C-alpha cells in the first residue's frame, strides 16, 4: 500500500518538475541565441541527476521513511525555523551578489536553471525517499527564496 | 525511475545498487554521445581521412574485449549494508577529484579539430566505462562513473 502511494507521489512530483523545467526554458526563450546556450541549459538541467544517483547509492539503507505523527511533531519547529532562516539568508545572499557584481540573475539564466534543477531534484528525492523534515525545510527555503527573488525583488 | 527500482527489487540492497550503477553508466554513455554531437556541430569538425573513422572504434574496443575475456572480476561486488563514514568521505573525495580531472579531459577533447580523433577519444572513454561497469562493480566504480558524468556537465556549463 505504502509503496503505491510513494510511486504516485513520485510520478506527480516528477511531472511537476519536468513542467517547471520546460516552462523555464521557454521563459528564457528570447535569451537563447546560440546552440551553445541550448547545450548549457541541457547540461545544467542534467547536473543533479548523477549526483542524486550517487547519493542514493550510498544511502540505500534509509529507504521508505516512517512518517509518523510523533516524528512530525518533533520536527515541526526546527523545520519551520530552518525554512525561515534559509529564505532570509538566500534572499539576502542573492541581493548582495547582484549588488556587488551589478548583474541580474535573469541575465545569467544558466545559474537560475542550475539552482532550480538541483533544488527540485533533491526536493523530490528527499520527499520520496528519506522524508527528512529538516532537509525539507532548507530545500523549501531555497526554492521559495528563488521564487520571491524572481517575482518580487528583481525589477 | 525510482519507481522502477521499487517494483523490481524489493528484496536486496546490492541488486538495487547494481541497478543504480547500470543507470549511472547509461547516463554517462548518453552524456558522451551528447558531448560528441555538441563538439561536432559547434566546432565544425572536418573529416580529414575518411578511412580513419571506420577504424577509430577498433582502437579501444578490441583491447577492451580482450581484457574482459581474460580478466576475472576485480571487486567483490556491492555491499548489502551501509557504508561507514570514512568510506563515504573517501569516495566523495575520489568523485570530486575525478570530476576535476574530467573537466580537464573534456577541455582537451574540445581542442580536437578532426572528427576521427574525437571519435577515437570518445570510444576510448566509453570502453573505460564499460570496463568499470563489468569488472569493478563496487562503490569505487560508481564514484568514478559519477565523477566522469559530473566532469562533462561541469565543463559544459561553465567552460564551454
Cα Rg of chain B, angstroms: 17
How does pLDDT run along chain A (155 residues), one tens digit per residue? Answer: 455 655 666 566 667 766 766 766 666 666 666 777 777 777 877 777 787 778 777 776 555 556 677 777 777 888 888 888 888 898 888 888 888 877 777 667 777 777 777 787 777 777 766 677 788 888 888 888 888 887 777 65
pLDDT at site A4: 62
Q: Is B24 on the interface with A (CB under 8 A)?
A: yes
- The verdict on ipTM greater than 0.85 is no
Partner residue facing A49 (CB), from B3, B17, B27: B27
CB contact under 8 A, B31 and A51: no
pTM for the whole structure: 0.71
Whether residues B91 and A58 touch (CB distance < 8 A) is answered with yes
**Which is nearest to B144 in space by CA: B158, B156, B159, B130?**
B130
Report B:88-127 residues touching A (Cβ under 8 A). 88, 91, 95
Q: What is the pLDDT of residue A138?
A: 85
Residue predicted with more confidence, B27 or A67: B27
Q: Which of A144, A142, A107 is nearest to A28 (CA)?
A: A107
pLDDT at A102: 74
| Cβ–Cβ gap B91/A40 under 8 Å | no
The Cα diameter of chain B in Å comes to: 53
The residue in chain A having the minimum alpha-carbon distance to the alpha carbon of residue B5 is A7
Beta carbons of A125 and A62 less than 8 angstroms apart: no
Cell, residue B127: 570502453
Task: Band the pLDDT of B5: cuts 50, 70, 90.
Answer: very low
Report residue B96's pLDDT band, with 50, 70 and 90 as the boundaries.
very high
Which residues have CB under 8 Å from B102's CB, separation 6+?
B147, B148, B150, B151, B152, B155
Question: Collapsing DSSP states into helix, strand and coil, what is residue B46?
Answer: strand
Question: Given CB atoms, is A128 within the 8 Å cutoff of chain B?
Answer: yes
Query: Residues of A with CB below 8 A from B10's CB?
Result: 3
**What is the per-residue pLDDT for B9?**
44
- Residue B97 pLDDT greater than 90, yes or no: yes
User: Is the pLDDT score of B13 beyond 90?
Assistant: no
B86 interfacial to chain A (CB closer than 8 Å) = no
CA distance A18 to chain B (A): 14
On whether any CB of chain A is under 8 Å from the CB of B13, the answer is yes
CA A35 to chain B, closest CA, distance in angstroms equals 7
Average pLDDT over residues B138-159: 87
Higher-pLDDT residue of B40, B8: B40
CA distance A11 to chain B (A): 8
User: Which is higher by pLDDT, A118 or B91?
Assistant: B91
Provide the pLDDT for residue A11.
66
SS3 string of A20-69?
Answer: HHHHHHHHCHHHCCCHHHHHHHHHHHHCHHHHHHHHHHHCCCCCCCCCCH
Distance CA B65, CA B124 (A): 12
pLDDT at B1 over 60: no
Amino acid at each position: 500500500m505504502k509503496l503505491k502511494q510513494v510511486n504516485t507521489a513520485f510520478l506527480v512530483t516528477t511531472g511537476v518538475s519536468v513542467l517547471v523545467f520546460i516552462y523555464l526554458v521557454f521563459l528564457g526563450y528570447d535569451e537563447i541565441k546560440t546552440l551553445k546556450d541550448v547545450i548549457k541549459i541541457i547540461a545544467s538541467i542534467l547536473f543533479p541527476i548523477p549526483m542524486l544517483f550517487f547519493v542514493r547509492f550510498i544511502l540505500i539503507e534509509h529507504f521508505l521513511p516512517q512518517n509518523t505523527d510523533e516524528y512530525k511533531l518533533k520536527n515541526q519547529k526546527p523545520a519551520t525555523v530552518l525554512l525561515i532562516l534559509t529564505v532570509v539568508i538566500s534572499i539576502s545572499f542573492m541581493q548582495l551578489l547582484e549588488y556587488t557584481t551589478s548583474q541580474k540573475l535573469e541575465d545569467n539564466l544558466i545559474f537560475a536553471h542550475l539552482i532550480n534543477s538541483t533544488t527540485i531534484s533533491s526536493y523530490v528525492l528527499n520527499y520520496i525517499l528519506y522524508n527528512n523534515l529538516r532537509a525539507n525545510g532548507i530545500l523549501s527555503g531555497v526554492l521559495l527564496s528563488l521564487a520571491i527573488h524572481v517575482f518580487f525583488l528583481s525589477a | 525511475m525510482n519507481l522502477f527500482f521499487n517494483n523490481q527489487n524489493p528484496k536486496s540492497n546490492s541488486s538495487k545498487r547494481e541497478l543504480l550503477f547500470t543507470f549511472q553508466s547509461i547516463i554517462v554513455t548518453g552524456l558522451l554521445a551528447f558531448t560528441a554531437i555538441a563538439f561536432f556541430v559547434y566546432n565544425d569538425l572536418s573529416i580529414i581521412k575518411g578511412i580513419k573513422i571506420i577504424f577509430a572504434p577498433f582502437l579501444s574496443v578490441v583491447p577492451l574485449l580482450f581484457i574482459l575475456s581474460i580478466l576475472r572480476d576485480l571487486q567483490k561486488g556491492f555491499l548489502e549494508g551501509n557504508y561507514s563514514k570514512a568510506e563515504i568521505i573517501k569516495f566523495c573525495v575520489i568523485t570530486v577529484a575525478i570530476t576535476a580531472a574530467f573537466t580537464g579531459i573534456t577541455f582537451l577533447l574540445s581542442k580536437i579539430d578532426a572528427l576521427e580523433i574525437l571519435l577515437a577519444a570518445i570510444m576510448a572513454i566509453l570502453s573505460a566505462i564499460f570496463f568499470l561497469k563489468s569488472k569493478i562493480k563496487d562503490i569505487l566504480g560508481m564514484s568514478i562513473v559519477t565523477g566522469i558524468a559530473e566532469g562533462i556537465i561541469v565543463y559544459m556549463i561553465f567552460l564551454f
